[in-house]
């Protein structure tokens, strides 16, 4: 399971602090809800990429003492299973859609574009459930820009918390893809 935590820093700050980041202590297992203090269970390393650099970062794992299932603490700037931070992905796509500026490889841009394209309805539904009543543009290209700008305008932790309240995968995951569960609250 994935448990999001807002570390009050960006990708480079998180990378610089390494294993000294202020990792949360959980008194309740987000998986089975048992009121047991979660145990520290080491780290794993992964890449995280923003507009500036590629970082090697440490992800902290916790273990449920009751059922021995592990929980990974993911910083709010990342999406599950993606190396680019979600703001970097948004910026890449918006730069392309608005200014025809390709700030990554064409192959990567196409990959993200395809994903974002297919998730338009789900993103629109998300904003509807957030109480947004504005009419979205009818043309697909304009609608995509509008929706991605709305995500971009949201505060990081707020977007992550609200998105995962009802959703089973991220706004960049393949439709119906079901990876590790994300705890709905943090």
Q: Which residues bind Zn ion (CB under 5 A)?
A: 29, 31-32, 64, 67
Q: Are 151 and 171 in contact (CB under 8 A)?
A: yes
The CA distances from residue 56 to 17, 18, 46, 89, 177, in Å, are 11, 9, 6, 18, 26
Could you tell me the smallest distance in angstroms from the CB atom of residue 26 to Zn ion? 10
d(CA 29, CA 150): 33
Beta carbon nearer to Zn ion, 67 or 117: 67
Beta carbon nearer to Zn ion, 32 or 174: 32
Could you tell me the smallest distance in angstroms from the CB atom of residue 3 to Zn ion? 11
* 133 burial via Cβ count (<10 Å: 0-12, 13-18, 19+): exposed
Could you tell me the smallest distance in angstroms from the CB atom of residue 144 to Zn ion? 39
Beta carbon nearer to Zn ion, 9 or 70: 70
Q: Look up tokens 């820009």; give the residue.
A: 145
Beta carbon nearer to Zn ion, 63 or 103: 63
Could you tell me the smallest distance in angstroms from the CB atom of residue 28 to Zn ion? 9
Structure tokens at 62: 């916790």
């Amino acid at each position: 399971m994935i448990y999001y935590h807002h570390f009050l820093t960006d990708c480079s700050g998180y990378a610089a602090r390494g294993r000294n980041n202020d990792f949360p202590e959980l008194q309740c297992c987000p998986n089975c809800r048992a009121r047991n203090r979660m145990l520290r269970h080491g780290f794993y390393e992964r890449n995280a990429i923003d507009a500036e650099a590629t970082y090697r970062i440490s992800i902290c794992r916790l273990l449920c003492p009751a059922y021995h299932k592990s929980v990974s603490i993911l910083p709010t700037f990342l999406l599950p299973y993606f190396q680019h931070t979600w703001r970097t992905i948004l910026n890449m796509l918006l730069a392309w859609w608005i200014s025809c500026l390709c700030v990554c490889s064409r192959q990567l841009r196409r990959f993200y574009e395809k994903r974002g394209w297919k998730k338009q309805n789900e993103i629109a539904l998300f904003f509807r459930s957030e109480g947004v009543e504005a009419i979205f543009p009818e043309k697909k290209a304009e609608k995509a820009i509008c929706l991605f700008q709305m995500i971009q305008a949201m505060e990081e932790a707020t977007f992550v918390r609200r998105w995962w309240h009802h959703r089973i995968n991220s706004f960049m995951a393949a439709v119906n893809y079901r990876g590790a569960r994300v705890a709905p609250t943090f």
